[in-house]
Amino acid sequence: MPLLKIFGLTQRFGGLQALSDFSFQMEEFQLVGLIGPNGAGKTTVFNIVSGFYKPTEGGVVFDRKPISGLKPHQITALGMARTFQNIRLWNNMTVLDNLRLAGYAWLGYGFWNAILRTKRYNQSERDIENHAREILEMMDLTDYAEEFPRNLPYGLQRRVELARALVSKPRLLLLDEPAAGLNSADVEDLIRHIRWIHEKFKLSIWMIEHQMKVVMNLCQHITVIDFGCVIASGTPEEIRNNPSVIKAYLGDDTL
């Protein structure tokens, strides 16, 4: 049984067909990539899978549960987390608070426990704090725990966002262009971190990425889409030599 199964996904925005009949599936503990030229519909796929859009047609099954139509926070609670193409951290909170808040999905208490400071509240806050600090440590971010994200360099902000996604204890991690805007040293770091969390947490990772270095290095399997349709899928080696992929990226004339 695949961990994530997408079938016949179609998304129309008014007259624009952003996705047509997109199907895909991935197994547990796979690390796969989704690539395609700008505007191909990659982020639309992620937005549907994570619950921000309701697809016009088709559906998504995550861990045997149909999830299209659920709210993003419900999908997160089922064990999916994602990062964003443009970093979306909470900038007026410290890095540690950012990570702590990602534990919201498995917070063991509600309003009255917080007001009355019950045992349950203390226990739950302690668990979250420990987990967040553990992840900070693993991602080499402990030194920045009390910094505000907006004061950190871009590469570190990316890493904080990755760390935050991990705190929600996901089984499937969606990374939307994790290497966007990073310099080559940061990219090396990122590749190392992604490979490491993949092994360490036994995570399934699905990433959108433009930098071929990242995709070719990390992914076991790649899907290519253009104009909302799948045009190829296979191992990095197959994709590299696929004529329709080269055509989509470079155009007809160069061939």
Partner 1 sequence: MKRYTINIFLFAAAVVLVLLAQFKAPGSDSKILDGYVLSILMLIGINCIFAVSLNLVNGYMGEFSCGHGGFMCVGAYVGSLLSVAFFSNSKLFGTALFAPYLAPFLFPLVLLGAMLAAALAGLLVALPSFKTRDDYLAIITIAANYIIISLIENIDAIGGPRGFSGMNKTINAMTDLVSLPWMLMWTLVGVYICVAVVRRLMSSTYGKGISAVCQNEVAAEMMGINTNRVKIMAFMVSSGLGGLAGVLYAHVYGYVNASSFGLLKSTEGLVMVYLGGMGSISGVLMAAVAFTLLVEVLRFVIPWLNDGLHAIHVLPDSYQLDQVWTWVFIPLMLILLMQFRPEGFLGNRELTHVFPRLKRWFTLK
Site for partner 1 in 2-61 (CB under 8 A): 50, 52
Gap between the Cα atoms of 18 and 226, Å rounded: 10
Q: How far is the CB of 255 from partner 1 (least distance, A)?
A: 40
Of residues 20, 30, 168, 211, which one binds partner 1 by CB under 8 A?
A: 168
Residue linked to tokens 């253009």: 226
CB 81 within 8 A of CB 174: yes
Q: How far is the CB of 77 from partner 1 (least distance, A)?
A: 6
Residue closer to partner 1 by CB (options 101, 216) is 101
Residue closer to partner 1 by CB (options 42, 164) is 164
Q: How far is the CB of 115 from partner 1 (least distance, A)?
A: 5
Residues forming beta bridges with residue 66, ordered by sequence position = 61
- Using CB under 8 A as the binding rule, whether residue 138 contacts partner 1 is answered as no
Gap between the Cα atoms of 103 and 133, Å rounded: 12
Residue closer to partner 1 by CB (options 99, 215) is 99
Residue closer to partner 1 by CB (options 112, 243) is 112
Which long-range contacts (C-beta less than 8 Å, at least 24 apart) are formed by 93-96? 93/148, 93/149, 94/145, 94/146, 94/147, 94/148, 95/136, 95/141, 95/144, 95/145, 95/146, 95/147, 95/148, 95/149, 95/152, 95/160, 96/132, 96/133, 96/136, 96/145, 96/146
Q: Single out the residue of 204, 202, 190 nearest to residue 24, CA to CA.
A: 204
Q: How far is the CB of 114 from partner 1 (least distance, A)?
A: 4
Backbone torsions φ then ψ of 100, nearest 5 degrees? -60, -45
Q: How far is the CB of 51 from partner 1 (least distance, A)?
A: 8
Site for partner 1 in 54-113 (CB under 8 A): 71-73, 76-77, 81-82, 84, 88-93, 97, 100-107, 109-111, 113
CB 158 within 8 A of CB 139: no
Residue closer to partner 1 by CB (options 57, 63) is 63
Residue closer to partner 1 by CB (options 55, 170) is 170
Tokens representing 230 are 């799948």
- Using CB under 8 A as the binding rule, whether residue 178 contacts partner 1 is answered as no
- Using CB under 8 A as the binding rule, whether residue 152 contacts partner 1 is answered as no
- Count the site residues for partner 1 by CB under 8 A: 39
Gap between the Cα atoms of 253 and 251, Å rounded: 6
Q: Which residues bind partner 1 (CB under 8 A)?
A: 50, 52, 71-73, 76-77, 81-82, 84, 88-93, 97, 100-107, 109-111, 113-115, 117, 121, 124-125, 128, 164-165, 168
